[in-house]
Chains A and B, each alone.
Chain A
Amino acid sequence: MIRFALKHMATRRARIALTALSIVVSAGVALLAYNVSTQVSEGIIGGASRYDLIIGPAGSSTQLAMNTLFFTDQPLGTIPYTLVDDLMETGMVNEAVPFSMGDSYNDSPVVGTTPALLTDKPLKEGEMFAESMEAVIGCEVASNYGLKVGDSLITSHGLSGGGAEHAASPLTVTGILARTNSAFDRAVFTPCATIWVLHSHEEEDEEHEEEDEGAHAHEEGEICAVLVRCKSVGDYTALSNHYKSDANLLAINPNTVLREVLENVDLSRTIVYALCAVVLVMNLLVISVIAALNLYDQRREIALMRLIGVSMGRINQLYLLQNAIIGLAAVGLSLLSAHLILWVVRGFVAGMGISLNALHVYGLEWAILAVVFAVSTLPTMLMTMSMSRHDPVEGGKRK
C-alpha cells in the first residue's frame, strides 16, 4: 500500500508541497522560537548563579552584569586590583575573583582573571593556566580557529577584533574547556598579569595611544571588576551597603539584575509564542482548505475505487497513510530546518554571551511536533469520515 500511496501522491505534487511547506513553516517557527528563547533564558540564569556580588566602576548595572558574566559590552572602566585583597581581608567572602577585559582574539574576548573563575568549568584537555602569557580557551575558540594545547595565539587590542596585534607577546594555550553552552565557550582566559604585561609592551611601543576601546583595563594593577561570593547573607548585605556608599564604585547583585533582564526576555517570549500560535492557526486553516480541495477533487477517484470493489476502509487507510507520510516528512523537515537556522544564527546570539547548542532538542519540541502532526492529519481524517458517510456504493439501499 505504501508504494501505491507514494505513486498516488506523486500525482498531486504541487498541493502536497504546499501542504508540507505550511507545516514546515508553522512548526519550524514554533520550534525555533521555543528553543532559542529557552536556551537564552537558561544561559542567562546559568550565568548568574555563582556570585552574590559584583563590584565595578560606577555606571550601568546591566552593563556590569552582562560584561562580567557574559563577556559582552564594554567594561565600565577600571578599579584597583587592591580591592580584591581588601575584600579577602574582611573575612566576609569565600571568593573574590578579579575580572579584566579589553583585548580579543579574533572575535573572542580575552578575560584576565584567576583559575577561580573557571572552578566549575572542567577542562576538556590540557591544564589550567599558571603563569602570565598562558591561556585556557573555550571549546568554540579551539574549534573555530583550530587551536590545540601548546599552540600560540596572538591577541589584539580592543574587543571587536581588528585592533593592533600584540604580535610580540603571544599567549600559549595550556588547556581547552569542555563545552558549557555559555559565553565561556567563546572566550580566552589568562591571568590578569598577562593583560598588564601586554599593556606594558603596548606603552613601550606607544602603538595604541589613539585607541580607547577597553584601554582602561590595561593599567598595571587595575582590573575591570571583582566577582564575589560572600560567606553569608549578612556579609553580602554589609559589603553591598559598604561599596554602594562609594560614589566611584557600583555594587550589584547579579541575580537581581539578570531577573530584570529575564522579565524583558519573558515578555518577548510571550509575544513570540502568541505569534507562533497565530501562525499555527493560519496554517491549520491552509492545511484544512488544501485537504478539503484534495478530497473534493478525489471524490471521483474514491467513487472509482469503490466501484471496482476497493473497500471504504482501505480507501480511508490510503488517504490517512498519505497524510501521515506528508505529516511525518514535514515535521521531520521542520525539526531539521529549525535547528539548521539555530546553527546559522548562533553567531548572532553569541554576541549576547550565550552559546546556542544547535543539537539540543527539548522535550517540548517533540510535543509541539506531535501536536502539529495531529493537527495536520485532522482535516483529512474528518474529510475521509465524511466521505465514508457518502459512500457512492451505499446509495442504492433496498427501499
Chain B
Amino acid sequence: MIQTKGLSMRFADGTAIHYQDLTFEQGRSYALLGASGCGKTTLLNMIAGVLRPSEGEILIDGENVVDWPQRRRDHFRIHEIGYIFQDFKLLEEMTVRDNIDIVRLEGVDTRGADALLERLGIQRLKKRRVRSLSGGEKQRVAIARALIKAPRIVLADEPTGNLNFEVGSAVMDQLLENLNGGTLIAVTHDDRLAPRFDCVLDMNQIARGEVSA
C-alpha cells in the first residue's frame, strides 16, 4: 500500500504544488486525470524516488521512502518499481532485448523476457533496433522493460500519450493484463481510457498549485 501525507513540492522558480493525502491499495489500478502542469508527473517522480518532496511523507508498506538514502531508493526503483515514461526512454541504438536486459546491470532476472515479449506481441522484434520501431512498438518495449521485474508498483506517465486511441487502448489493455498483482498508477489526459481503471483520481482536485511572490 502507498500512502502520501502532507506532500508538497517547491521548485526553484518559486512555484509549488501541494497534494491532498492519498492512498493507493496494492493490486489496484489508478488513473490520474488532470490538466497539464497540475503535478501528475511530479507525483509519480516523488513516488519513484526520482524527486524528493520538499515536505511530507510517502509511505510504502508503512516505511517513509523519502528518508531513504539515494542508494536504497535506486535499489527500490530498479527492483520494485516499473516506470513507463511518456517518451519511452529507451536506448534507441540498441535492440529491444538489450533494452530489457539493461536492468540486469543491477541484478534483475530477465529470463522471462521472451515470454513477456510474446504476451505483448513484440517477440518478433526482439533483435530489432529500437529506433526502427513504431511508437506503439516502442511503448510496448517500455512496458516490457517495466514489467520484466514483476514490480509491486507500476508507474506510467502518459503511456498512450504518443499513440492514437486504438493503439493506445490496446497498449493499455496489455499493460493492465500483465500487472500480476502490482499496483498501477497511470497518468493520462485521455478520459476515454478511465473506465479501464479501478479508480480515477482528478488531480485538478487533489493537487493545488501556488506561486510565491
Q: Which residues of A contact B (CB under 8 A)?
A: 1, 4, 7-8, 11-12, 301, 304-312, 314, 318, 391-399
**Interchain CA distance A398-B46 in the complex, whole Å:** 11
| Chain A residue nearest to B74 in the complex (CB) | A311
Contact of B51 among A8, A305, A306, A395 (CB under 8 A): A395
Tell me if B103 counts as interface (CB < 8 A to partner A). Answer: yes
- Using a CB–CB distance below 8 Å, which chain B residues touch chain A? 9-10, 45-46, 48-55, 66, 70-71, 73-79, 81, 83, 85, 89-91, 93-95, 98, 101-106, 145
* Inter-chain contact A396/B51, CB cutoff 8 Å: yes
- Do the beta carbons of B45 and A396 come within 8 Å of each other? yes
Interchain CA distance A309-B91 in the complex, whole Å: 15
Question: What is the CA–CA distance of A398 and B10 in the complex, to the nearest angstrom?
Answer: 9
CA A391 – CA B70 in complex, angstroms? Answer: 11
**Is A307 a contact of B93 with CB atoms below 8 Å?**
no
Least CB distance from A338 to B in Å reads: 33
- In the complex, A369→B172 CA distance in Å? 55
Among B52, B66, B70, B83, point to the contact of A307 (Cβ < 8 A).
Answer: B83
Let me know if A1 and B105 touch, CB within 8 A: yes
Interface of A is mostly: helix
Task: Please state if B45 and A4 are interface contacts (CB–CB under 8 Å).
Answer: no
Assembly CA distance A391 to B52 (angstroms): 13
Q: Measured between alpha carbons, how far is A399 from B17 in the docked complex, in Å? A: 13
The interface residues of chain A lying within 8 Å CB-to-CB of B48 are 307
| Inter-chain contact A310/B106, CB cutoff 8 Å | yes
Assuming the A-B contacts A301-B91, A309-B75, A309-B78, are A394 and B70 also in contact, with contact meaning beta carbons closer than 8 angstroms in the complex?
A: yes
Q: Are B85 and A307 in contact (CB under 8 A)?
A: yes
Q: Say whether A4 contacts B93, CB under 8 Å.
A: no
Most buried by B among A7, A8, A314, A394: A7
Docked Cα-Cα span, A377 to B120, in Å, equals 41
Q: Is the CB of A393 within 8 A of B66?
A: no
Measured between C-beta atoms, what is the minimum distance from A357 to chain B in Å? 45
Which A residues touch B9, using CB under 8 A? 396
Known: A308-B77, A308-B145. A398 touches B54 (CB 8 A): yes
Name the distance in Å between A315's Cβ and chain B's nearest Cβ.
8
For the complex, give the distance between the alpha carbons of A309 and B76 in Å.
Answer: 8
Bound complex: CA of A308 vs CA of B50, how far in Å?
9
Once the chains bind, are B66 and A308 in contact (CB under 8 Å)? no
A396 and B104 alpha carbons, distance in the complex (Å): 26
Residues of A within 8 Å of B91, CB to CB, are 8, 11, 301, 304
B106 touches A396 (CB 8 A): no
Per the bound structure, the CA–CA distance linking A12 and B70 in Å amounts to 30
Q: Which chain B residue shows the least CB distance to A300?
A: B89
Residues of B within 8 A of A314 (CB): 105-106
Q: Give Cα A399 to B75, complex, Å.
A: 23
7 contacts between A and B (CB under 8 A): A4-B101, A7-B98, A309-B77, A310-B105, A393-B49, A393-B74, A396-B9
State whether A393 and B105 are in contact (beta carbons under 8 Å apart), knowing that A7-B98, A304-B89 are contacts in the complex.
no
Kindly report which residue of chain A lies nearest to residue B88, judged by CB atoms.
A304
A1-B105, A310-B74, A310-B105 are contacts. A396–B50 as well, Cβ < 8 Å?
yes
| Given known A308-B89, A310-B74, contact A11–B102 (CB-CB < 8 A) | no
User: Which residues of chain B are near A301, meaning CB under 8 Å?
Assistant: 91
Task: Tell me the complex Cα distance, A27–B90, Å.
Answer: 37
Q: Are A8 and B94 in contact (CB under 8 A)?
A: yes
